Amino acid sequence: MSAVHVSTKINGDDVEFVCRPDESLLDVLRDRLGMTGSKEGCGTGDCGSCSVTLDGRLVCSCLVMGAEVGGHEIGTIEGMAQGDKLHPLQQKFLEGAALQCGICTPGFLIAARALLERNMDPTETEVRYWLAGNLCRCTGYDKIVRAVMDTAKDMRKAAAKSSAKKPAAKKSPAKKTAKKGARHAA
């Protein structure tokens, strides 16, 4: 079995690895790159706990070959928080106790983020259908769905606020950078 050399981008960073051609992207992430946030539940694309984004598209990393991701961009749970600052979804999952054992949680977070990037105002039905490929055996889903809906609500509020301030929009990116810098300094 000839090894394959792959250059790709994971969470914005250039990454190179060598893998066997029969290894899945999930195998590569966990066993070669030490990124164990993505979990293996079923290994057959049924449970969604290995969810990542591939060029922005939500996929099961167990159904992607490691060899085929060269030149593409991968997003994993490790890239969700910015330093110590949790993503709003992560914060809401914690606040709402939308997890118990936690194995499915990275997959749910990645999947929910992909939904909210496309649709900031999903109905409960839309949330449930979008997340139908993520299985959770602990929570009964209700708290997960509520956490996603609550995050969407917060995001809409924040978006309304920033669009209300539109005349001063030019200034806001600078402010953001400053804030970010301050956070890092702290």
- Supply the minimum distance, in Å, between the C-beta of residue 83 and other proteins: 28
Minimum CB separation from other proteins for residue 64, in Å? 7
Which two three-digit tokens encode residue 17? Answer: 């690895």
Contact 81, 87 (CB under 8 A): yes
Q: Give the integer Cα–Cα distance in Å for 71 and 34.
A: 20
CB of 176 to other proteins, least distance (A): 30
C-beta of 99 vs 127, nearer to other proteins: 127
Shortest Å distance, C-beta 42 to other proteins: 10
Residue 69 or 98 with smaller CB distance to other proteins: 69
Q: Of 2 and 163, which CB lies nearer to other proteins in the complex structure?
A: 2
- To the nearest whole angstrom, how small is the minimum distance from the Cβ of residue 145 to other proteins? 14
Which one, 86 or 126, has the nearer CB to other proteins?
126
> Using CB under 8 A as the criterion, which residues of the chain lie in contact with other proteins when the complex forms?
1-2, 4, 20-22, 24, 43-46, 48, 51, 54, 57-60, 62-65, 67-68, 111, 114-115, 129-134
Instruction: Please tell me the distance from the alpha carbon of residue 13 to that of residue 79, in angstroms, as a whole number.
Output: 10
Q: Which is nearer to other proteins, 54 or 147 (CB)?
A: 54
3-state secondary structure 103-146: CCHHHHHHHHHHHHHHCCCCCHHHHHHHHHHCCCCCCCCHHHHH
Place of tokens 């139908």: 132
Shorter beta-carbon distance to other proteins: residue 35 or 62: 62
Residue spans of alpha helices (H) in the chain: 25-27, 88-95, 105-118, 124-130, 142-164, 172-185
**Shortest distance (Å) from residue 96 CB to other proteins:** 22
Q: How many helices (H) and strands (E) does the chain have?
A: 6, 5
Q: How far apart are CA 12 and CA 79, in angstroms?
A: 8
